[in-house]
Structure 1
Amino acid sequence: MDRHLAFVSLPAHGHVTPTLPVVAELARRGWRISYATGEQFGFEVEKAGATLVRTSTPAPAAPPPTVTGPAVVASFLQRIVVDARTSLPVLTAHFRADPPRAVCYDATSLAGRILAAETGAADVALLPTFATNERSSPFARAGAPPPEILAVVREMADLAAAHGVELQRGVGILAPASLNVVFVPREFQPGADTFDGRFRFVGPSPGTREDDGGWSPPDEPVLFVSLGTAFNDRPEFFRTCLEAFADRGPVAMAVGQHVGVDGLGAIPGNIDIRPWFPQPAVLRHAAAFVSHAGMGSTMEALYYGVPLVCVPQMLEQEANAGRVAELGLGVRLDAAGITAADLRTAVDAVTTDAAMRTALDRMRTAVRGAGGAEAAADAIEAHLTT
């Protein structure tokens, strides 16, 4: 039988990037991989050894908002609906002519779940964040969804039902797949012992990104500052960082695509500001990471044993930051009203706390021992032989 796999993901860094080392490992093992996502990820997909199947999910109409809330969550869920409606005709036509053995889809991809059901291929969900079930959900404290979110969930349910797929009720959106590959280690997953054998906690894989030559490390450990690739339009936050860390050693600060460096004022000589940095390459040389606590960034920090100063911007990041603080791997700050003194105190704390250093070393061992891309590929191959 043809060794063909389909990967399906929303066109977003936090969803595509964790999967690419798995794609590369499967390609190395002789699998032929078709990866369905947005054209902007074509270079990375093909570099990993897959063939791009271009979807046409429209980009958000405006930059991410500076204030998060139910409307933002509803907007994201609406993107999932739009992605499914626009992608399914492309996916159905492509994979009807070239059927895959399995559909490995981002856990938020309704299109991927429907494609697996319609083709009869094995279903493999790829989870870039915490797994959830009836007994363990880091998002449960959010309470009942507000009306604007429920309206979109109903729309998702109707679309799924039209394709013979039933949405899960109560926990998450889509029910677990027959195999669920989670890109966090068991030691970081809340309630890990409540998940059955359908869940494999493999942790992150930096892949070739840790050897990116686009940045030369200084002679001493660097402080890294980044709010990730989405909710990063925070010029006031970056100005506070400039005040906090001027003349305190080398700083690498990623401000994203929305913040103009010229509008931040005078830049201290010790701070290197760019839209983006090769994150794993910087974290290899980092003393601390001031971060939005997105799961990809959190996992990469823990992979290198870097303490976190978490400044979460949205619910998912709040959950990640809470887990970081709970396990003694960093501290959490409130993004509202944060001061330069708050940032300096937090960085000093995480870089001098001996107990935190012990916890970080223990978690780094766990993260690296989870197996990463090789463990994910092993799980997928084993699933296809059962």
Structure 2
Amino acid sequence: MTSTERAHIAMFSIAAHGHVNPSIEVVRELVAREHRVSYAIPASFADTVAATGAEPVTYTSTLPTDEDPEAWGTELIDNIEPFLDDAVQVLPQLAAAFAGDEPDLVIHDITAYPAPVLAHRWGVPAVSLWPNLVPWEGYEEEVAEPMFADLKASERGRAYYARFEAWLAENGVDTHPDRFVSRPRKAVVLIPKVLQPNADRVDESVFTFVGACQGERGEQGEWEPPAGAEKVLLVSLGSAFTKQPDFYRACVEAFGGLPGWHVVLQIGKHVGAAELGELPGNIEVHSWVPQLSVLRRADAFVTHGGAGGGQEGLATGTPMVAVPQAVDQFGNADMLASLGVARHLPMADATPGALRAAVLELVGDPEVARRAAEIRLGMAAEGGTARAADLIEAELPAGLRAPSSS
């Protein structure tokens, strides 16, 4: 360090694997560089945070969790209102928790609305850690305005925006809610650039892509294939939208007994193995697996196409069949397919025959293997965790910056 005083960095996120996991290795790296890191998070993720060496600062959240994905509703307004509702009641909790111990720098997940408000209040810089695709120049006109037009014209939508604007104004933030959410001052993008639509139109003075920040994840345990397994297939729909027993049964039918193949089937917490019927000997079923460990040994990956799973598949050079379930996964599936390393198979079309054909075609195509290896090498060059930490340190006040480790 260039100063005897340690920097205090505060990270803010929500209780969701897809938003916590991307930041974990970055936080671990910042702690290793001798910064003091506080991490504001609901208690359900406190142990995960503490394992990095950061200090959990727990708060009570009203957001739906991975345990209850149906609580997010079915309409666009149902998906966005909870974040504002939660932010309003979380802000005073966090203001009190950090009173007298304000950080030198705020870093935060894109869903953690109180974080940039608190940074403004404290007069410190804020850096957004972006775990999925980012807006490009023209995004508002091409995507956001058509998507939000009906919502903004509805009574409920107008009330939402009025409340959001009032909350920001109360806290001295003179920014429209849309820009507050989608246009940060500075962002470290925790996905590879190849997953970004219209990457040539992204403002790289704001958004810097660092690729996957995965770490070794040894604490999650290691998975080893059984003796005699010639090829390995991982099937996982992530952590949230996993209540799909019919899909899992289709996978059992598609890959059960397939010569030379061993299948790791992750089914989440909402489905029991007994619901899948009699299992062939080449299929093992779990509610959770150390995904990265499995992917390092896998020959193919049937995934929901979430940002985390998609980039883990790319980072390990694993061909993918993307069967998206919700939100950004449909666009991710198309992007993965466009890269030449995946097939987008809509859920309605995910029959046993279609699943089997897609996996076998991918694995049998030498061009897929070549492209997957090329992308894997390109991602490694983006810098990952060390680059992310460098960018965050660069935002610290001058007297607190550490020498670059790169």
Q: Same fold (TM over 0.5)?
A: yes
- Look up the match of 2:68: 63
- Look up the match of 1:52: 56
Shift of 1:56: 0.6
Distance 1:20 1:258 in 2: 26
Query: What RMSD over aligned residues (CA atoms) do the two structures have, in Å?
Result: 2.4
Shift of 1:10: 1.2
- Look up the match of 1:366: 378
Aligned pair 1:8/2:12, yes or no?
Answer: yes
Distance 1:6 1:236 in 2: 43
Shift of 1:142: 8.7
User: How many residues were matched structurally?
Assistant: 383
- Look up the match of 2:204: 196
> In the alignment, is the contact (CA less than 8 A) between 1:64 and 1:233 conserved in 2?
no
Distance 1:368 1:82, change over 3 A: same
In structure 2, stretches of 5+ residues that fail to align are 399-406
Distance 1:323 1:175, change over 3 A: closer
> In the alignment, is the contact (CA less than 8 A) between 2:320 and 2:341 conserved in 1?
yes
2:185 to 178, 190, 203: 178
Aligned pair 1:230/2:234, yes or no?
Answer: no
Distance 2:161 2:295 in 1: 38
> In the alignment, is the contact (CA less than 8 A) between 2:161 and 2:177 conserved in 1?
no
1:369 maps to amino acid: A
Shift of 1:167: 4.4
Shift of 1:166: 4.1
- Look up the match of 2:213: 205
> In the alignment, is the contact (CA less than 8 A) between 1:77 and 1:153 conserved in 2?
no
Distance 2:142 2:274 in 1: 38
Distance 1:137 1:261, change over 3 A: farther
Distance 1:127 1:190 in 2: 15
Can you list the C-alpha shifts for 1:136-156, whole angstroms capped at 9, x where unaligned? 579828933243666544433
Can you list the C-alpha shifts for 1:96-147, whole angstroms capped at 9, x where unaligned? 3101111101112211121111111111001000011333579828933243
Distance 1:142 1:231, change over 3 A: farther
1:157 to 159, 162, 165: 165
> In the alignment, is the contact (CA less than 8 A) between 1:45 and 1:52 conserved in 2?
yes
Aligned pair 1:273/2:273, yes or no?
Answer: no
2:364 to 352, 370, 375: 352
Distance 1:49 1:149, change over 3 A: farther
- Look up the match of 2:404: none
Distance 2:11 2:142 in 1: 27
Aligned pair 1:100/2:103, yes or no?
Answer: yes
- Look up the match of 1:243: 253
1:176 maps to amino acid: R
Distance 1:313 1:69, change over 3 A: farther
- Look up the match of 2:226: 218
Can you list the C-alpha shifts for 1:209-236, whole angstroms capped at 9, x where unaligned? 2574353323433100000111111111
Shift of 1:271: 0.7
> In the alignment, is the contact (CA less than 8 A) between 1:325 and 1:332 conserved in 2?
yes
Q: Point out the structure with max Rg over C-alpha.
A: 2
- Look up the match of 1:256: 268
- Look up the match of 2:138: 135
Distance 2:141 2:53 in 1: 35
2:216 maps to amino acid: T
Q: Which moved more, 1:127-136 or 1:360-369?
A: 127-136
Shift of 1:173: 5.4
- Look up the match of 1:293: 305
2:41 maps to amino acid: T
Partner SS for 1:40: helix
Can you list the C-alpha shifts for 1:246-272, whole angstroms capped at 9, x where unaligned? 012110011011111111211111111
2:47 to 36, 39, 43: 43
Distance 1:65 1:276 in 2: 20
Identity %: 36
Shift of 1:373: 1.0
> In the alignment, is the contact (CA less than 8 A) between 1:136 and 1:190 conserved in 2?
no
Distance 1:271 1:139 in 2: 44
- Look up the match of 2:317: 305
